[in-house]
């Protein structure tokens, strides 16, 4: 958020002098601009008026695009409700708000397809994850096992050892221990091409690779062939179990440095759960630049979770930039719908 000095000079109370800057405006101010921005709940740029997502209805297989109610605002959930009245709708496309065209669509078959073996993954129900933002209704993306979104042909996403930042807001109470409720950078081939070929946020209580303190769920990094909770594979006490309904989760990486951060998306600051060197065998990274949501890099799709918003950046965002993004998320006032 930015203050208008002139208004402060006039002595108006601070709350009336706050100017909303969306998460991607904040990342741009920090010289780490969004190169992909996905949300079904709200615009992630102050000036964004384009489509947020597309729903497809079962009654006649037609589609409609859902936009924010105002520039930079909350999704027009009523438009979805009208279009989907008397039938069911699924989320067919989550549009990229960055202008790079990095839209997410139904994930194709991969090396390990789990419940959707041999075929494309399922689409999410358009009404599976209702919430409110500052009292206004919106819908998140409910990932059931077998559901997944992907883009293997992206623009501007980090490859190789290039730096990047990723955040998402998710439901901290909807998770499992299967692989993998991920959002972030993955293989362009939909197959496991080895250590260091991914850099994505994972959320859940899988104990097959890394774990943190308590019994989970944990925010971890999926760097391929492993979920990492800290410096070393397996247990890292610094990565806490998460108990918030709405969670802000962050993974970021640059040459031989990466970090996990997180917090309550409705209140308070972010904490850093790890910031240090790469695990052995992950320096340099071999990122490929595809984007996944709700699945692993090889399309492992046994996991569940709920996604509300997230971005990927060019460059390694500063903690200060991320802290400002967290303040914006808190101000958006995620809440459960009554
Ligand atoms: C919609 O498309 C699906 C998949 O192609 C098909 O099975 C279904 O019959 C179609 N429904 C209508 C109403 O056309
Ligand atoms: C990680 O493993 C290395 C090598 O075994 C060890 O020296 C280091 O102390 C470990 N770090 C943590 C945080 O446990």
Q: Which ligand is nearest to the CA of 120?
A: 1
Which residues are catalytically annotated? 224, 298
The answer as to whether 34 is a domain residue is: yes
Average pLDDT, the chain: 93
Query: What is the side-by-side order of every strand in the sheet holding 136-139?
Result: 136-139, 130-133, 334-336
The answer as to whether 13 is a domain residue is: no
CA angle 261, 209, 223 (to 5 degrees): 55
How high is the pLDDT of residue 19? 52
In angstroms, the Cα distances linking 218 to 35, 76, 98, 177, 178 are 26, 32, 28, 10, 13
Q: Which of 228, 232, 260, 278 to mutate to test the pocket of ligand 2 (most atoms within 8 A of CB)?
A: 232
- Res. 4 pLDDT band, cuts 50 70 90: very low
DSSP state of 321: H
Contact 193, 187 (CB under 8 A): yes
**Does residue 81 sit in helix, strand or coil?**
helix
* Neighbouring C-beta atoms of residue 326, cutoff 10 Å: 25
The answer as to whether 1 is a domain residue is: no
**Ligand 1 near 60 CB (within 6 A):** yes
Residue 232 CA, closest ligand 2 atom number: 1
Does residue 5 register a pLDDT over 80? no
pLDDT in tens, 31-89: 999 999 999 999 999 999 999 999 999 999 999 999 999 999 999 999 999 999 999 99
Residue 61 alpha carbon to ligand 1 centre in Å: 6
Instruction: Find, among 243, 297, 238, the residue nearest to 266 by Cα.
Output: 243
Which residue has the CA at smallest separation from atom 12 of ligand 1? 60
The answer as to whether 15 is a domain residue is: no
Q: Which ligand is nearest to the CA of 238?
A: 2
Residue 60 CA, closest ligand 1 atom number: 13
Q: Between residues 7 and 329, which one has the greater pLDDT?
A: 329
How high is the pLDDT of residue 15? 41
d(CA 249, CA 266) in angstroms, rounded, equals: 12
91: domain CATH number is 2.60.120.200
- Res. 111 pLDDT band, cuts 50 70 90: confident
Does residue 128 register a pLDDT over 60? yes
List the structure tokens of 67: 């936009």
The answer as to whether 183 is a domain residue is: yes
What spatial distance separates the first Cα and last Cα of the chain, rounded to whole Å?
Answer: 29
In angstroms, the Cα distances linking 299 to 31, 111, 116 are 32, 6, 9
Within 6 Å (CB) of ligand 2, which residues are found? 231-232
Structural domain of 159: 23-336
The answer as to whether 18 is a domain residue is: no
How high is the pLDDT of residue 9? 38
Number of independent structural domains in the chain:
1
Does residue 118 register a pLDDT over 80? no
The answer as to whether 87 is a domain residue is: yes
């Amino acid at each position: 958020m930015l203050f208008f000095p002139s208004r402060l000079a006039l002595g108006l109370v601070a709350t009336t002098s706050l100017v909303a800057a969306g998460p991607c405006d904040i990342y741009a101010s920090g010289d780490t601009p969004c190169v992909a921005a996905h949300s079904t709940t709200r615009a992630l740029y102050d000036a964004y008026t384009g489509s947020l997502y597309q729903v497809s209805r079962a009654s006649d297989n037609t589609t409609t695009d859902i936009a924010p109610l105002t520039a930079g605002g909350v999704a027009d959930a009523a438009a979805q409700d009208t279009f989907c009245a008397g039938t069911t709708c699924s989320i067919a496309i989550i549009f990229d708000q960055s202008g790079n065209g990095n839209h997410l669509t139904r994930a194709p078959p991969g090396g390990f397809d789990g419940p959707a073996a041999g075929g494309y993954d399922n689409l999410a129900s358009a009404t599976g994850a209702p919430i409110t933002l500052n009292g206004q209704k919106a819908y998140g993306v409910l990932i059931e096992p077998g559901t997944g979104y992907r883009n293997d042909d992206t623009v501007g996403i980090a490859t190789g050892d290039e730096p990047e930042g990723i955040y998402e807001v998710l439901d901290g109470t909807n998770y499992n221990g299967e692989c993998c409720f991920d959002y972030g950078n993955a293989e362009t081939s939909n197959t496991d091409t080895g250590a260091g070929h991914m850099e994505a946020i994972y959320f859940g209580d899988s104990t097959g690779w890394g774990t943190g303190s308590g019994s989970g769920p944990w925010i971890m990094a999926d760097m391929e062939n492993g979920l990492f909770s800290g410096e070393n594979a397996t247990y890292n006490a610094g990565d806490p179990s998460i108990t918030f309904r709405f969670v802000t989760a962050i993974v970021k990486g640059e040459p031989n440095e990466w970090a996990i951060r997180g917090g309550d998306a409705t209140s308070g600051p972010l904490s850093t759960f790890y910031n240090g060197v790469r695990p052995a065998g992950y320096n340099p990274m071999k990122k490929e630049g595809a984007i996944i949501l709700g699945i692993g890099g090889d399309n492992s799709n046994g996991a569940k979770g709920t996604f509300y918003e997230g971005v990927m950046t060019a460059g390694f965002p500063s903690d200060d930039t991320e802290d400002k993004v967290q303040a914006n998320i808190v101000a958006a006032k995620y809440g459960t719908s009554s």
